[in-house]
Structure 1
Amino acid sequence: MELREVTVVSGSFVGFQLLFSVASPLLSSAFTTGYGRLPSAKHTEWHSRFVSTIHALIVGLFCVYILWFDDAVNADPVWGDPGLVKLNVAITCGYLLYDLVLLARNWGTMGDSFFVCHHLAALYAYGYVLTQGVLPYFANFRLISELSTPFVNQRWFFEALSYPRSDRLVVLNGVAMAVVFFLVRIAVMPPYYRRVVSTFGTPAFERLGLGPQVAWISSCICLDILNTIWMYKIARGCYKVLVGAGRKAKLSAQDGTHTNNHRD
């Protein structure tokens, strides 16, 4: 790993720590009604999700930029110039390390084995990108999944602030979360794996060696199994919210009809 990547990973780790301990408390207190009434245990996860949202926006938008404009990476997905991708991956690695430390320190209230598996699988694969500069297109493509994270976090914020599930904002965010999660984590699987399979047997693929090949394929499978499990949970939750909102609207309509008939 070059000095630049080490610096970015370290700076990212420290930066996200500062966002967690300084920026989030100040901004949340100033701009979020109801934040001050939350118990201290909720504050920890609140700040964690605030940081998660900032990371997702930075990395996700950077990822889209690279996919659209980095011709070298798109032309050679295995060995293309990894400069911008390594920078993006280094930011993510710093975040993943920060989040693992945070989970370890608050395991009783925030511990989640799925997240630990996700983070470790991602770090395992991204380590090859940072140290050897391999698979830049595929590493960057995986990061597009972060664009669903702000919606997932917003759902938690609404729940923490005791918004009813039938609230219009909650319903809209829930639908948007399910749609975006599906688009950036599930719908992309067929084209992603089609591009993966197209590299098999090529000189570029053989040049990787067994280590990067195993890290690449195994981490992708692990991450996509987790994404599929999360998609199922999100879809089930979205269905319940929509059904609940529909029942409430139906009851309101029936009450209105009953009231009008009574007045007649």
Structure 2
Amino acid sequence: MISVMAVSRKTMTLGIYQNQAELLVKNYLLSDPIIPYTSVLGGVVACKVFYDLVQLISTFYFTSYNSLTKVQRIDWNNRGISTLHAIFISVMSLYFVFWSNLFSEEHLPGLFTFRSSPLSTFTLGVTVGYFLSDLGMICWLYPSLGGLEYIVHHSLSGIAVAYSLFTGEGQFYTFMVLISEVTTPEINMRWYLDTAGLKRSSAYLINGVVIFFGWLVARILLFVYIFHHVYIHYAQVVQMHAVGYLLVLVVPTALAIMNLMWFGKIIKGLIKILAKKQ
């Protein structure tokens, strides 16, 4: 009887602590005015935690990791974070753009360009935290982790996402652009295979083909759709603040140009690989 009462007290105590923790998260960490700041901080902290986890796992389970140079190991760890973030933001962006009713013109009244929610804001905050972390790493080890084009890409993306995060404007188009992150895991896999000495393997070729089609859909055709959507809904876009209006027009255009340049390199690389296989 005494043991049952003791277990009951422990259960009640745990329940009280759980309720207090939930209230703390709801009322403070995820309260509307604080979400942008806590999510950005959470994104930065998550990057550090995952960096250390990737380093720890790679040390014990990947024999080629320990033979890499210091810069290569940093790049390896950094790409692990990049892959995890890409999976997270791609899934969330697809959800908000195609499945959520948040930006639906049929289910909710008002202009979709001014809509946001705690979850959408939190998601963008995590992405801003990632861009800050990754941009810091690129600048710190410049140009080992990427040249000027990476700095321009991250800066433009970070500014646009941060604007949507703190103002709540244009989140729909921000998520549409972020869908393009679906190609990042394949790009990182290409680097991993190359670093592991598997550049002539079938896996490298298959990954190259996946990159080609993924890039074509997510970074070429998707941006054509974005420009078409902006044109059709220009009456709503033009009512945004001047800064948001310019970001909706300028950032996708600049990223589209960079995507076309990179796509040209992807085509040349794929042709070279296919020629060697024949």
TM normalised by structure 2 equals: 0.82
What does 1:94-109 align with in structure 2 at a 5 Å threshold?
A: 94-109=129-144
2:91 — aligned with what?
61
2:240 — aligned with what?
208
Superposed displacement of residue 177, structure 1 = 1.2
The answer on 1:23 being equivalent to 2:50 is: no
Q: Deviations over 1:2-30 (max 9, x none)?
A: 3111100111012102222x111111123
Letter in structure 1 aligned against 2:127: T
1:5 — aligned with what?
36
Query: Does the 8 Å contact 1:129/1:135 carry over to 2?
Result: yes
Query: Does the 8 Å contact 1:73/1:82 carry over to 2?
Result: no
Q: Deviations over 1:28-67 (max 9, x none)?
A: 1233232122122210111111110011011111111222
1:252 — aligned with what?
none
Distance (Å, rounded) in 1 between the aligned partners of 2:225 and 2:117:
21
Check 1:213–1:108 CA distance in 2 against 1; reply closer, same or farther (3 A cut): closer
Structure 1 unaligned spans of 5+: 247-264
What does 1:42-191 align with in structure 2 at a 5 Å threshold?
A: 42-75=72-105, 76-163=111-198, 165-191=199-225
Letter in structure 1 aligned against 2:220: I
Letter in structure 2 aligned against 1:180: G
- Give the paired residue count: 242
Distance (Å, rounded) in 2 between the aligned partners of 1:84 and 1:186:
28
Superposed displacement of residue 108, structure 1 = 4.3
Give percent identity, aligned residues only.
Answer: 22
TM normalised by structure 1 equals: 0.86
The answer on 1:229 being equivalent to 2:261 is: yes
Distance (Å, rounded) in 2 between the aligned partners of 1:90 and 1:175:
33
Q: Look up the SS of the partner of 2:144 in the other structure.
A: helix
Q: Look up the SS of the partner of 1:13 in the other structure.
A: helix
Letter in structure 1 aligned against 2:39: V
1:198 — aligned with what?
232
Distance (Å, rounded) in 2 between the aligned partners of 1:72 and 1:52:
27
Superposed displacement of residue 189, structure 1 = 2.0
The answer on 1:244 being equivalent to 2:244 is: no
Q: Deviations over 1:144-196 (max 9, x none)?
A: 10110000000000111111x33111111111111111111111122211110
Letter in structure 2 aligned against 1:46: W
Larger fraction in helix: 1
Distance (Å, rounded) in 1 between the aligned partners of 2:263 and 2:112:
27
Distance (Å, rounded) in 2 between the aligned partners of 1:118 and 1:147:
16
Query: Does the 8 Å contact 2:223/2:252 carry over to 1?
Result: no
Distance (Å, rounded) in 2 between the aligned partners of 1:205 and 1:181:
27
1:261 — aligned with what?
none
Structure 2 unaligned spans of 5+: 1-31, 106-110
1:256 — aligned with what?
none
Query: Does the 8 Å contact 2:104/2:112 carry over to 1?
Result: yes
